[in-house]
């Protein structure tokens, strides 16, 4: 063999395909300050818009005086609800089937609600104008406590819904009620509880928090009056959905709306929905004839543009005395704030909360979610989460620990005893899902071995004894978490957004010289799609990843896709990419057969091209096939080499993992130290292990933040008291623990490449691991459940309430 002929290994490596720790192509521009984020977009004559916001959480708007603002140099217009009514945009539909005020229409319902939009020549002048708008308010009684929302004498928040006894998701039973969502078999569940040896009941709250990506929400809208076309650059996780929403509500033909999501500085669910800023900037551009930029500041982001969680879950488990679970009952009070602006698939008012049976074989379960209105910001976005899966995982993982405590069992043993067994997959859960695959016992045992679980429990027992003897003031907690996610929304049979099925898409076009472009309906916000999508194509069709350009985010060029959130990109768009690549490969095989003068069936795939079976020297590389596609295709075949795939997944995917946190807490100060955090993830086939690890580090850090302090908190008057990075916990490199990662691989049986999605797993599994560690630390002092977030002060309070402080 010629020395210059590359070996199979060299050919394989040259592709940088799946499984390779390919360095990211995005980083070349990002490390040089050459990213193109929305605030970097600058157009000739561009104006800036800024909001007048309500200081009140609930008040009637008596009058808005704009005269003085309009005298401010540079201020060109002040838009109010009255202006918006002329174009029928004072209110907008939410993704959850509710309506939301774009600008205050008669009243305000949460602090920092948008009241007026000042448009000026630059951002400073816009701010000056905001300061000069005078709004007369008449304060109204404020509703903050979700548990008082449905009291008979609770204030009426949504006067626009007066007399409406049903909403988008069925009957409403109170003026502050949004929906009731019930699932499972109530009678069978009640019967299981009636005959259970052991039951537990606990109200487990998952507090309100916020995704808070480092880049806030922003847009630039430019309306061309001559062409009647609107172009929007925006921080959009789902640009095509934004285009369709704009077409539906602004009555501009969809082909005349161009939505461009350029580089995005993190999303974490914050950038899925449509916000008043987008509508106001678009209307301002139509009114002024100039491009208008709107850039949210951090306080606005934390207080007005969506929130996450705020689920109050009364959870009951039934079990035998040996520790076999026999039933699960959950009632959730879901605080949706002033408008139901959840970004869930349309038919799922509580998202996929019915994954709450977790990794365990519950014969029966029943779950009811009541959504309610309060005087808080609207939203309910999935913060690094697939639609309420984080809430569900926290609920069941905390409840399993509480049950273990009551039974006197080790929490790991209780889990092992109740896991869905490998041979039960595909597994039909009591609340209606079909888990595609899993190997929970292997993952759990691998984790327990890796951390020397038995050794840790022994050490803890010794520490507890020492504490009781007064020899230490530190308590040690071991937090076990085993989660099952449901991601990859989703199959058209059960998932849509505003009627659009939640497929995703890819178009691949190969050029004559063996390079190409892939356009995809997903939209990276840091996940590295430009790198990983090319890796899938490289493995599928043997063109080096470096020769594939990946493009997302431009609705004029990308095929229609539902965007990136809910860990759906790899399960759905990733599948579309593989399927489009396979269409190309099928055509390539016909071309190769023609050129090699053999029958197609006589060819076999070999890394980067086809070879004739039994004649390994008779080959045609994909590079050569690309050239042939443009000059000598078989008679009757169209030239060119491109394909489009729209992929409607047959099922969700079900990533899982086993996490463990070891924490020490000083009871006298409440100061905690995370001594160790181990995360084993199974996301099926691994496309780029480097990026997977990066996703896990990031998700664990967000989980750490949420569990240990990150909260959007309101006082009794509805003032946000954690509205900036001063008070909203944002861990730095100093607080953030060291992460140990590990994995098993259980491919998804229905996904073309077996991948399941990973971005959200660490947040889903991380929060219960931290919270269980804190709760486990205090358990031997007589505590059953301490609510999150577990900051120093709350830890100290817990110690105090347990009587262990001097």
Partner 1 sequence: MPKTHVTMKVNGSEVEGLAEPRTLLVHFLREQAQLTGTHIGCETSHCGACTIDIDGMSVKSCTMLAVQANGSDITTIEGMANADGSLSALQEGFRMMHGLQCGFCTPGMILRAHRLLKENPSPTEAEIRAGISGNICRCTGYQNIVKAIQYAAAKINGVEFQEAAE
Min. distance of Cβ 738 from partner 1 in angstroms?
7
CB 513 within 8 A of CB 649: no
Choice from 582, 675, 697, 794 touching partner 1 (CB under 8 A): 697
Task: Find the shortest distance in angstroms from Cβ 573 to partner 1.
Answer: 18
- For partner 1, the closer of residues 300 and 310 by Cβ is 300
Catalytic residue among 217, 219, 221, 385: 385
3-state secondary structure of 716: coil
Of residues 525 and 539, the one with the C-beta less far from partner 1: 525
Among 13, 214, 454, 586, binds partner 1 (CB under 8 A): 214
Closest separation between CB of residue 761 and partner 1, Å? 14
CB of 266 to partner 1, least distance (A): 4
The interface with partner 1 within residues 272-311 (CB under 8 A) comprises 297-298
Task: From 99, 113, 123, select the one nearest 218 (Cα to Cα).
Answer: 123
Catalytic-role residue among 296, 693, 702, 760 = 760
Return d(Cα 307, Cα 8) in angstroms, integer: 51
Mapping DSSP onto H, E and C, the string for 312-360 reads EEEEEEEECCCCCEEEEEEEEEEECCCCCCCCCCCCCCCCCHHHCCCCE
**Residue 291 exposed, middle or buried by CB count within 10 Å (0-12, 13-18, 19+):** buried
Stretch in the footprint of partner 1 (CB under 8 A) among 80-88, 130-138, 642-650, 697-705: 697-705
- Closest separation in Å from C-beta 27 to partner 1: 4
- Whether residue 544 is preceded by a cis peptide bond, meaning omega within 30 degrees of 0, is no
Tokens representing 539 are: 């493995």
Residues comprising the chain, all counted: 806
Select 24 or 148, whichever has its Cβ closest to partner 1.
24
Q: Between 272 and 786, whose beta carbon lies closer to partner 1?
A: 272
Compare residues 218 and 405 and give the one whose CB is closer to partner 1. 218
**Smallest distance, partner 1 to C-beta of residue 479, A:** 18
528 binds partner 1 (CB under 8 A): yes
Q: Is 56 exposed, middle or buried (0-12, 13-18, 19+ CB in 10 A)?
A: buried
Q: Considering 208, 384, 415, 519, which one is annotated as catalytic? A: 384
Backbone phi and psi for residue 259, each to the nearest 5 degrees, phi listed first = -105, 130
Confirm or reject binding of residue 693 to partner 1 (CB under 8 A). Answer: yes
Among 694, 719, 797, 804, binds partner 1 (CB under 8 A): 694
User: Which of 59, 700, 779, 799 lies at the binding interface for partner 1 (CB under 8 A)?
Assistant: 700
Taking CB under 8 A as the binding criterion, the range among 182-190, 632-640, 727-735, 770-778 that sits at the site for partner 1 is 727-735
Q: Which stretch binds partner 1 (CB under 8 A): 52-60, 499-507, 720-728, 791-799?
A: 720-728
213 or 553, CB closer to partner 1? 213
Among 1, 2, 9, 33, binds partner 1 (CB under 8 A): 33
Q: Detail the DSSP E strand segments found in 601-747.
A: 603-605, 609-612, 615-621, 642-647, 656-666, 672-682, 740-743
DSSP characters over 553-622? SBTTTSPP---S-TT-IIIIIHHHHHHHHHHHHHHHHHHHHHHHTS-GGGEEE-SSEEEETTEEEEEEEH
Residues 6+ apart with CB under 8 A from 264: 37, 38, 213, 215, 235, 236, 237, 271, 523, 524, 525, 526
Q: Which DSSP category does 154 fall into?
A: P
Question: Does residue 50 bind partner 1 (CB under 8 A)?
Answer: no
* Of positions 2, 32, 166, 631, contacts partner 1 by CB under 8 A: 32
Q: Which is nearer to partner 1, 299 or 644 (CB)?
A: 299
Q: 31 or 320, CB closer to partner 1? A: 31
Q: With respect to partner 1, which residue has the nearer C-beta, 27 or 145?
A: 27
44 part of the interface to partner 1, by CB under 8 A? no
Closer by beta carbon to partner 1, 37 or else 630: 37
Q: Which of 100, 237, 405, 589 is catalytic?
A: 237
Phi and psi at residue 175, to the nearest 5°: -65, -20
Whole-number Å distance between alpha carbons of 615 and 620: 12
Q: Name the segment binding partner 1 (CB under 8 A); options: 180-188, 311-319, 551-559, 693-701.
A: 693-701
Report, in Å, the least distance between residue 739 CB and partner 1: 6
Contacts to partner 1 from residues 2-31, by CB under 8 A: 21, 23-24, 26-31
Strand partners, 684: 755
The stretch near partner 1 (CB under 8 A) out of 110-118, 337-345, 481-489, 722-730 is: 722-730
Q: Annotated catalytic, 237? A: yes
| Annotation marks residue 760 as catalytic | yes
- Count CB neighbours of 500 within 10 A: 15
Interaction between residue 806 and partner 1 (CB under 8 A): no
Residue 443 C-beta: closest distance to partner 1, Å? 19
C-beta of 124 vs 147, nearer to partner 1: 124
| 53 annotated active-site | no
Q: Which is nearer to partner 1, 12 or 300 (CB)?
A: 300
Tokens (6 digits) for 305: 């543009």
Q: What angle do CA 766, 771, 773 make, to 5 degrees?
A: 95
Q: Render the burial of 200-225: b for 16+ CB within 10 Å, e for the rest.
A: bebebbbbbbbbbbebbbbbbbbbee
Chain centroid to CA 728: how far?
20
Residue 37 CB, shortest distance to partner 1, in Å, is: 7
Among 55, 155, 266, 426, binds partner 1 (CB under 8 A): 266
In the complex, the smallest distance separating the C-beta of residue 674 from partner 1, rounded to whole angstroms, is 12
Q: Which of 267, 214, 538 is closest to 383 using CA atoms?
A: 267
Nearest to 659 by CA among 708, 611, 616, 699: 699
- Closer residue to partner 1 (CB): 315 or 567: 567
Residues 653-682: b if buried by 16+ CB within 10 A, e if exposed: bbbbbbbbbbbbbbbeebebebbbbbbbbb
Binding residues among 729-788 for partner 1 as defined by CB under 8 A: 730, 732-734, 736, 738-739, 741
Beta bridge partners of 75: 120
CA–CA separation, 47 vs 31, rounded Å?
30
Contact at 8 Å (CB) between 634 and 591?
yes
Say how many residues touch partner 1, by CB under 8 A.
57
From the list 117, 789, 720, the residue with the least C-alpha distance to 374 is: 720
Out of 42, 321, 469, 599, which residue is the one contacting partner 1 (CB under 8 A)? 42
Q: Which one, of 562, 558, 553, 560, lies nearest residue 508 by Cα?
A: 558
Q: Which of 246, 283, 691, 764 binds partner 1 (CB under 8 A)?
A: 691
Window 120-179: residues binding partner 1 (CB under 8 A): 123-124
Do the beta carbons of residue 610 and residue 623 sit within 8 Å? no
CB of 744 to partner 1, least distance (A): 17
Give the binding range for partner 1 (CB under 8 A) out of 237-245, 407-415, 525-533, 553-561.
525-533
Binding residue for partner 1 (CB under 8 A) from 49, 97, 167, 213?
213
CA dist., res. 796 & res. 782, Å (int): 15
Active site residues: 237, 384-385, 760
Please give the residue ranges that form the binding site for partner 1 (CB under 8 A).
21, 23-24, 26-35, 37, 39-40, 42, 123-124, 212-216, 263-266, 268, 297-298, 525-528, 690-691, 693-695, 697-702, 724-726, 730, 732-734, 736, 738-739, 741
């Amino acid at each position: 063999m010629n020395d210059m002929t590359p070996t199979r290994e060299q050919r394989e490596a040259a592709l940088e395909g799946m499984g390779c720790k390919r360095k990211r192509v995005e980083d070349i521009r990002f490390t040089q300050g050459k990213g193109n984020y929305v605030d970097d977009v600058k157009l000739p004559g561009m104006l800036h818009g800024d909001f007048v916001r309500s200081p009140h959480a609930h008040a009637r708007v008596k009058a808005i005086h704009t005269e003085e603002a309009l005298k401010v140099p540079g201020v060109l217009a002040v838009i109010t609800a009255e202006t918006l009514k002329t174009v029928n945009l004072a209110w907008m539909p939410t993704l959850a089937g509710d309506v939301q005020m774009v600008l205050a229409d008669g009243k305000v319902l949460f602090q920092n609600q948008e009241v007026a939009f000042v448009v000026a020549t630059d951002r400073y002048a816009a701010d000056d104008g905001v300061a000069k708008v005078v709004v007369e308010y008449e304060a109204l009684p404020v509703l903050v406590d979700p548990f008082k929302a449905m009291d008979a004498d609770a204030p009426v928040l949504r006067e626009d819904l007066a007399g409406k006894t049903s909403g988008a998701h069925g009957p409403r039973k109170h003026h502050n009620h949004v929906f009731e969502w019930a699932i499972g078999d109530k009678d069978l569940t009640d019967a299981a509880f009636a005959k259970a040896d052991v039951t537990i009941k606990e109200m487990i709250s998952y507090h309100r928090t916020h995704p808070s990506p480092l880049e806030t929400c922003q847009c630039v809208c430019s309306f061309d009056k001559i062409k009647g076309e609107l172009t929007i650059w925006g921080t959009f996780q789902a640009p095509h959905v934004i285009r369709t929403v704009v077409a539906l509500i602004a009555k501009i033909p969809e082909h005349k709306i161009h939505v461009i999501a350029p580089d995005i500085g993190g999303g974490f669910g914050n950038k899925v929905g449509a916000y008043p800023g987008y509508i106001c900037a678009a209307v301002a551009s139509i009114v002024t004839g100039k491009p208008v930029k709107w850039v949210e500041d951090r306080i606005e982001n934390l207080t007005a543009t969506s929130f996450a969680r705020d689920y109050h879950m009364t959870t009951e488990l039934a079990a035998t005395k040996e520790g076999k679970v026999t039933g699960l009952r959950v009632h959730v009070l879901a605080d949706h704030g002033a408008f139901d602006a959840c970004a869930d698939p349309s038919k799922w008012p509580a998202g996929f909360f019915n994954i709450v049976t977790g990794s365990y074989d519950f014969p029966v379960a029943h779950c009811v979610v009541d959504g309610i209105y309060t005087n808080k910001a609207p939203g309910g976005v999935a913060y690094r989460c697939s639609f309420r899966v984080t809430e569900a995982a926290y609920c069941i993982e905390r409840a399993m620990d509480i049950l273990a405590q009551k039974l006197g069992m080790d929490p790991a043993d209780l889990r092992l005893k109740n896991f869905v067994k490998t041979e039960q997959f595909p597994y039909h859960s009591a609340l209606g899902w079909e888990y595609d695959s899993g190997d929970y016992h292997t993952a759990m045992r691998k984790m327990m071995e890796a951390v020397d679980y038995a050794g840790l429990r022994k050490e803890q027992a010794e520490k507890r004894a020492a504490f009781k003897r007064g020899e230490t003031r530190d308590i040690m907690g071991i937090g076990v978490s085993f989660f099952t996610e449901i991601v990859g929304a989703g199959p058209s049979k059960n998932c849509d957004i505003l009627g659009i099925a939640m497929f995703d898409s890819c178009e691949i076009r190969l050029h004559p010289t063996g390079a190409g472009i892939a356009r995809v309906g997903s939209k990276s916000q840091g996940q590295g799609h430009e790198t990983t999508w090319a890796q899938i194509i490289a493995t599928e069709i043997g063109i080096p990843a470096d020769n594939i350009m990946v493009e997302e985010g431009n609705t004029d060029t990308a095929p229609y896709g539902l965007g990136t959130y809910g860990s759906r990109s790899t399960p759905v768009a990733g599948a579309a990419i593989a399927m489009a690549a396979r269409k190309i490969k099928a055509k390539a095989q016909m071309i190769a057969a023609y050129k090699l003068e053999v029958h197609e069936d006589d060819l076999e795939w070999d890394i980067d091209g086809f070879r004739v079976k039994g004649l390994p020297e008779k080959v045609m590389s994909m590079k050569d096939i690309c050239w042939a596609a443009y000059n000598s295709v078989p008679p009757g075949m169209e030239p060119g080499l491109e394909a489009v795939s729209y992929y409607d997944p047959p099922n969700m995917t079900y990533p899982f993992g086993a996490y463990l946190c070891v924490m020490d807490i000083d009871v006298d100060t409440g100061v905690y130290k995370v001594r160790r955090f181990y995360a084993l993830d199974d996301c099926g086939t691994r496309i780029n292990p480097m990026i997977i690890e990066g996703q896990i580090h990031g998700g664990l850090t967000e989980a750490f933040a949420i569990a240990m302090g990150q909260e959007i908190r309101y006082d009794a008057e509805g003032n946000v008291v954690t509205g900036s990075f001063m008070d909203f916990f944002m861990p730095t490199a100093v607080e953030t623990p060291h992460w140990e990662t590990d994995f098993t691989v259980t491919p998804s049986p229905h996904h073309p490449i077996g991948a399941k999605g990973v971005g959200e797993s660490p947040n889903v599994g991380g929060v219960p691991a931290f919270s269980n560690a804190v709760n486990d630390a205090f358990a031997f002092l007589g505590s059953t459940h301490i609510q999150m977030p577990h900051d120093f002060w709350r830890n100290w309070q817990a110690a105090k309430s347990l009587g262990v402080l001097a």
